[in-house]
């Protein structure tokens, strides 16, 4: 479907909200202590290694 219509997911979301069918989801968070974790075979605090980026700021739109 996405090959034919790149905006189908966004349009479906907006259409569902307009019909009163609001999306729902479960959100889970796993908390780790900020310490060494010898039980792991990787460093969970080395973000470059996993390719993830972290930020302590909320995203804002540029003026």
Give, for all 63 residues of the chain, the pLDDT tens digit. Answer: 556 777 888 899 999 999 999 989 899 988 888 788 888 888 777 765 445 555 555 555 555
How much is the pLDDT for 54? 54
User: What pLDDT does residue 26 have?
Assistant: 92
Q: What is the pLDDT of residue 60?
A: 59
pLDDT for 48: 57
> Which distant-in-sequence residues (6+ apart) come within 8 Å of 33 by Cβ?
none
Instruction: Give me the helices (H) in the chain, please.
Output: 8-18, 47-50
């Amino acid at each position: 479907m996405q090959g034919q219509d790149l905006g189908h997911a966004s349009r479906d979301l907006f259409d569902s909200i307009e019909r009163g069918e609001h999306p729902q989801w479960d959100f889970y968070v796993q908390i780790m202590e900020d310490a060494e974790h010898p039980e792991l075979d990787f460093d969970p605090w080395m973000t470059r290694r996993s390719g993830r980026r972290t930020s302590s700021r909320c995203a804002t739109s540029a003026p």
